[in-house]
Amino acid sequence: MKRWFGLSLLIGVLLTGSMSPALAQTKTKPSGTSGIGWNGWGVQVGLSSSPDQFFGGVHFNLGEFARNVRFRPTLDLGVGDHVTLIQALAEAHYVFPKVQVWKPYVGGGAGLAYADFNSGAGRRSGDTVTKFSLAAVGGVETRLKSASTFYFEGKVGLGDADPDFKLGVGWTWK
């Protein structure tokens, strides 16, 4: 119970820190303009490899801090393969502006990964580890008629506790 309280506190601090610019500025910025601000939030789901898991999570589109470079923090919960993994990343994506319908983007993220092992892989049930998390990100997104954004995305984990590869799909609403 004590470790879940500590983990909840850590996640709360990360989310509060990443959302403070968004809360300070409630006006949505037009696409293609620079500046951190609230541009929406969304959900994502997918599969990961090593550990082999199903994951789901949330993300926050906090606008662009440079031309075509957006800030999108994410928080994912992965289950399966005898481990529960919580990964919080502060991601930056370069969105290629010349493409019309399906816009590709590339980038990366840094944050924390918390793993709670159930058993197996040389671990005892209840073993936990918190490590620095680093990932390379790439995907394609399109704007829907409802003004929401739909995307396909892949991530390569570069940290010790990160999944080797994640493949997901997500939606962002304003």
Q: Which residue has the tokens 């502060």?
A: 90
The Cα–Cα gap between 61 and 141 comes to 13
Interatomic CA distance for residues 120 and 4, integer angstroms = 21
Residue 3, pLDDT > 60, answer: no
> 61-99, pLDDT tens digit by residue?
999 999 999 999 999 999 999 999 999 999 999 999 988
Could you tell me the pTM of the whole model?
0.78
> How many angstroms separate the CA atoms of 84 and 81, rounded?
8
137 CB-contact burial (10 Å; exposed 0-12 / middle 13-18 / buried 19+): buried
Collapsed DSSP state (helix, strand, coil) of residue 15? helix
Encode pLDDT of 136-168 as tens digits: 999 999 999 998 999 999 999 999 999 999 999
Q: What is the pLDDT, as a whole number, of residue 8?
A: 46
